[in-house]
Structure 1
Amino acid sequence: MLAAGGSSPRETSTVLESVILSALLFGLLSAVTLPIGAGIGVVWRPPDRIIALLLAFGGGALLAALTIDLVAPGVDHGHFEELALGAIVGGVAFKLLDWLVNRQGGYLRKPSTALTYWRNQARQRLRKVLGQMRRANPLGGLSDAALDLLLSIAKVRDVPAGTCLYRAQDPAKNVYIILDGQVELTDPMERGRVFERLTTHDAFGRMSFITGMPRATEAHTASQVRLLTIPRDAFMALLPASVELRGAVQALLASPETARYLIERYGVAAAAATRWCDEAHQTLAETGNYASPPRQRPEVADPIELLRGDERLGFFHELPESLLAQIAGRLVHKSHPAGWSYYHQGREADRLFLLRHGSVNLLDPDARAAEPIRIERGAVFGGFSFLTAGTHAVTAVGQGPTEVSELRREDFDDLLEECPELRDRLARYLRRRQVNAYLIKHQHLDARRAAGWAERAARQLADGRVFPSLAEMTRQVASHKGAAVAMFLGMALDSIPESLVIGANVLETGTISLSLLAGLLLANLPEALSSAAGMKDQGMKVARILFMWTTLMLMTGVGAAIGALLLEDAPDLLFALIEGVAAGAMLTMVAETMLPEAFHKGGGVVGLSTLAGFLLAIYFNTLYS
């Protein structure tokens, strides 16, 4: 692309060296906000709305710069076909490489790629699983339209071995389908005897899901398990609008298995069970919904007073009446016989307990000579491990018949998402000295890690995000042995189109336009800030994060120089084709990572912010002209 004319070889070489150096410097300049953004992200995370505004603004600026600086000149020179072909090749190549990197854990590099990856995985698995369950489950014969309704509410969960998925008397909130792994169903009325072992593509929890009755059995993971879950409340809300889903439920209500379930598990009289099934079937056909069978509910003293009496944990008694009322509304009330094991040391704390009647012994297996700690009516137990999302430090066993009210993890997380004041109260609580002491003594963290975890969890709560447990985050990253390398490759993949665009622009004009430079600077800053903060949350060391983003800046500069060198002798048609490859790959990257992440974090503000970035980039171009 360099004009040779009558220039001597030395002059041509000097010009080429100047172009390559310019491409290197402009590449470094455009990417300088990568390490700057990463440095900000590891020490301070701005509100998601601010990150969304910046991402959308930078995305709009990049779209304008691509149009003005790459696409328009090629079209003006009569190379639309080459540009279009190159753009298609670039977009497809980016998608293919992105898919390969994501399979190794690279999707963790950004919230948007993680969100997209898991959503697509869930859709594919749901269609496959329901298809393979076609003979045993009415849901297997649904049309694509009905399946899409299920896809909108279905969730995928990775659960470690030894986890209790639900316990007897728990509300029937989900039906579960095993995508991978093994689950054991146990009967608490027979001392926890395993009566069924389930594996891939088996469904469970469906009878209580259909009837709306509390769980009669318990489910435990026998191995690392991946589950697809369908929430009951969301599923029931779909029934009035879907004839197919109503038909599937009606088939289950008419099945003899449903009446038999009510008779055997709840002692419902045969005539009453059959009558309820018939009435539910008819009501569903007429109104699009139905009520659960009538049952006797336990009489419970004012649960707000129970919560207010919490002094051992020191969290609930300081909450205002309005928050206590919301928490009390999520409590599950249960009764248990003597010797009931509430939890064992080392198990994840999926619920806390308020003791309404009886006494419970807290046993420390590591201190066999010590007397058990006995707690009496009105006490909260399992609370510290629950609020810190850790594992139980002791084992809890009922001394005689006991009655408790349970607050389950999923219900508490829902409350945290709904109530900013509760998040703020919990954030302040996690910074207390007593919580720090608990983490050091019972969760075996050193003082620095305990303080760091509490501060990070409190920050996430303040930002409106429910904090994950340290064990959960560690499992997520550890599940991909090359996740750190894959994350780096994924970020490098995102920078390749940028390098080619800069190299081509410098080679053609000797510089890069203000619109392109502004777009790249504005896009790189929030992208690095958001991703670096996420990497730190996943446990990556600060030095490693900064090294990765600094290396990416250097790679962008070197990539731009290499791009200019490779394109130097390219004929016009090939040059237009390669420009199209760069533009197509960058456009695909903006559309699949930047804008979805901006919308995920900011919602409705994204459109106007993208427009503002687009217009500002065009304005910069008029100044440059």
Structure 2
Amino acid sequence: MITVASAAFFQGILGASSMALGALLAMVWKPGRQVSAAIMAFGSGTLIAALAFEIASKVYQKSNFWVLMAGFLVGGLLFTNLSRYIDEKGGFLRKPAASRRYVVEHYQTRPLSLMECLDSSEVLQTLPEAEKSQLAQLLTPHYAKPGDCLCQEGDPGDYFYFIAVGIADVYKGQTWISRLGAGEIFGEMSLLTNEPRSATVIAATPMELYRLDPQNFSQVLTQSPHLALAISRTLARRLRRTEEVKHEQKPESLIEQVPLWEPLGLSNHWQQENSTLEKLTQHSAPMAILVGTLLDNIPEAMVIGMNANLHSFGSAFLFAVFISNFPEALSSAFGMKQAGISSHRILYLWLGVVFSSGLIAIAGHWLQGSLSDTTVSLTEAVAGGGMLAMLASTMMPEAYELGGSSVSYATIIGFLMGFWISTGGLG
């Protein structure tokens, strides 16, 4: 005979089983960005609906708004701080979003100043400090999105550009010529010769640039012989490079050309240290990854256990958990594989999480029968706050980063599906 405790165990495993499926699929398939974004956004939408109608609404009805508010705030605070602590202990590789957050906090603790950018530039680092300081005072910031045209072939020269962050492609007519990265300069030739632009430059990634208008460019060039020499060397290298790449093809994709962290402004660090990802992997710890993954899954498994019964296998919350766990495990397992973690270790990790989720669901069922109604409501609210913090800090930002504004539709559809199930649409 199946007991409610057994049902809680199997429902906990069922909700987490999509993690194992996602990890297994990641071993043989690399999902496209749009596919990953759509699934992640759909899962986010269903989970938001489940949080609203399966947790928040029920907690409010059984207790009051203050219990709901206190629980959600405590849950969000606990999740955020425990997640940060686990990242510090080596668990950051469990999710791409956690990995990016770890890198941002440890490799770019503060934005690089303009002087630091100039110091890291191969072209401008040889300038004396006085000349660099003078140049920095005259440069003005400029930001570009992928696809923005920075210089158009045939147009009059208007600015001299220095790239602080990002990558741009250079075209002659319809022919791709080269790619410019952080620390490089362009636009100087037309200002020197007073002739139209000789090439078109288009931003390939989000970019942060600094530029000089013609008047200030002439002033700096007159007062800085070292800058004039640096520009001359740059022009010579560029001419030689143009001859070398006449028969080369433009890279088909920026995936292998641009690091994952480029939109975050970390390109300088990656160019200076090509083994950063390997070093991050060395700092990671399988046990911390396991604990971190469990942390992400504990709140939902607890709620499943607290609401388990012999007839709840079609609940909206269980459905939402199953859907949301799949893309999370898919992207996480693929990221771990890229970082060098073996396929067997990845699969064992996720299978361990699935089994542990069943045990956590049993614990949730036991708490539901042992605690007062108010305490149970508060516990559910804490779990809901933790899940909402997880959505806000990982799934939704990652979905938007992968798919852009199009994820709005998948999120709406997921929410409507979760609402439909919550209101008995499948009943």
Q: CA deviation at 1:498?
A: 1.2
- Partner residue, 2:279: 476
Task: State how far apart, in whole Å, the 1-side matches of 2:218 and 2:206 are.
Answer: 15
Letter paired with 1:64: A
Query: Which stretch of structure 1 is more off in the superposition, 576-585 or 113-122?
Result: 113-122
CA distance 1:295–1:305, shift in 2 (3 Å): closer
Report whether the alignment pairs 1:54 with 2:54. Answer: no
- C-alpha contact 1:70 1:505 (8 A) present in aligned 2: no
Q: Deviations over 1:550-584 (max 9, x none)?
A: 00001111011112212322222212111110000
Q: Does 1:21 align with 2:6?
A: yes
- The aligned counterpart of 1:118 is 103
> For 1:24-103, what aligned pairs fall within 5 Å after superposition?
24-103=9-88
CA distance in 1 between partners of 2:235 and 2:112 (Å): 39
Question: Which whole-Å deviations, capped at 9, do the CAs of 1:142-197 have from their partners, x for residues lacking one?
Answer: xxxx99x88999xxxxxxxxxxxxxxxxxx96569xxxxxxxxxxxxxxxxxxxxx
Q: Which amino acid aligns with 2:278?
A: R
Partner residue of 1:495 out of 291, 294, 297: 297
1: distance between equivalents of 2:389 and 2:366? 25
| Structure 2 residue ranges without an equivalent (≥5) | 120-129, 147-160, 166-181, 190-204, 258-269
Q: After superposition, where does 1:520-531 map in structure 2 within 5 Å?
A: 520-531=321-332
| Structure-1 separation of matches of 2:288 and 2:101 | 17
RMSD: 4.7
Q: What is the CA distance between 1:521 and its match in structure 2?
A: 1.3
Aligned residue number for residue 417 of structure 1: 253
User: Does the Cα contact within 8 Å between 1:496 and 1:559 map onto a contact in 2?
Assistant: yes
Report the equivalent of 1:429. Answer: none
Q: Provide closer, same or farther for how the CA distance between residues 590 and 75 of structure 1 changes in structure 2, counting only shifts above 3 A.
A: same
Return the match for 2:395 from 594, 601, 621.
594
- Relative CO higher for 1 or 2, CA cutoff 8 Å, sep ≥ 6? 2
- Contact map agreement 1:61 1:614 (CA 8 A) in 2: yes
Q: Secondary structure at the match of 1:506?
A: coil
Tell me how far 1:121 sits from its aligned partner: 5.1
User: 1:37–1:529: 8 Å Cα contact kept in structure 2?
Assistant: yes
Identify which of 210, 234, 237 aligns with 1:236: 210
1:339 alignment counterpart: none
User: Is it true that 1:618 corresponds to 2:415 in the alignment?
Assistant: no
Shift of 1:475: 2.1
Change (3 A) 1:476 1:573: same
Amino acid at match of 2:224: A
Q: Distance in 1 between matches of 2:14 and 2:343?
A: 23
**Paired residues for 1:197-596 under 5 Å:** 234-236=208-210, 259=224, 261-262=226-227, 265=229, 297=236, 308=247, 323=249, 326=250, 415-417=251-253, 472=275, 475-480=278-283, 482-506=284-308, 511=312, 514-596=315-397
1:615 is displaced (CA, Å) by: 0.6
Identity in percent: 27
* TM-score, normalisation: structure 2: 0.68
> Match of 1:24, as an amino acid?
F
Report if aligned partners of 2:305, 2:362 keep a CA contact under 8 Å in 1.
yes
Q: How many residues align?
A: 353
Determine the C-alpha separation between the residues in 1 that align with 2:323 and 2:6. 23
Helix, strand or coil: the match of 1:43?
coil
| Alpha-carbon separation, structure 1, partners of 2:50 and 2:235 | 67
- 1:441-475 CA deviation, whole Å, 9 max, x = no partner? xxxxxxxxxxxxxxxxxxxxxxxxxxx99x83762
Quick one: structure 1 residues 615 and 128, their matched pair in 2 at CA, closer, same or farther if it must change by over 3 Å? same
Q: 2:69 & 2:319 partners in 1: Cα distance?
A: 25
Equivalent position SS for 2:275: helix
Q: Which residue of 1 aligns with 2:89?
A: 104
> Within 1, Cα distance between the matches of 2:399 and 2:334?
15
In the alignment, the residues of structure 2 paired with residue 52 and residue 550 of structure 1 have an alpha-carbon distance, to the nearest angstrom, of: 24
Q: Secondary structure in 1 aligned to 2:306?
A: helix
- 5+ residue gaps in structure 1? 1-13, 154-171, 177-204, 214-230, 241-248, 267-291, 309-315, 317-322, 327-414, 427-467
Distance 1:558 1:129 in 2: 53
1:566 corresponds to which letter in structure 2?
Answer: L
Q: Is the 8 A contact 1:70 1:579 kept in 2?
A: yes
More helix by share: 2
Contact (CA 8 Å) 1:19, 1:510: kept in 2 or not?
no
Q: Give the whole-Å Cα distance in 1 for the aligned partners of 2:419 and 2:207.
A: 49
Q: What do residues 62-107 of structure 1 show as CA deviations (whole Å, max 9, x unaligned)?
A: 1111111111112123421111101000001000011112223322
Contact 2:164–2:209 (Cα < 8 Å) also in 1: no
Counterpart of 1:99, as a letter, is R
SS at match of 2:370: coil
Displacement of 1:504 in angstroms is 2.2
Measured in 2, the distance between the counterparts of 1:548 and 1:56 equals: 24
- Which stretch of the first structure deviates more once superposed, 70-79 or 493-502? 70-79
CA shift digits 1:117-162 (9 cap, x unpaired): 434556642279989x9x9969999xxxx99x88999xxxxxxxxx
How far off its partner does 1:300 sit? 6.2
CA contact (8 A) 1:173 1:233 kept: no
Residue 513 (structure 1) shift: 5.1
Once residues 419 and 297 of structure 2 are traced to their aligned partners in structure 1, the CA distance between those partners, rounded to angstroms, is 23
Alignment of 1:92-171 (within 5 A): 92-119=77-104, 124-126=109-111
| 8 A contact 2:10–2:358 mirrored in 1 | yes
Instruction: Tell me if structure 1 keeps the 8 A contact 2:315–2:421.
Output: yes
Q: TM-score, normalised by structure 1?
A: 0.48
TM superposition shift of 1:607 = 0.6
Tell me if the contact between 1:130 and 1:139 (Cα under 8 Å) persists in the aligned partners.
no
Q: What is the CA distance between 1:589 and its match in structure 2?
A: 0.6
In structure 2, distance between residues paired with 1:476 and 1:151: 31
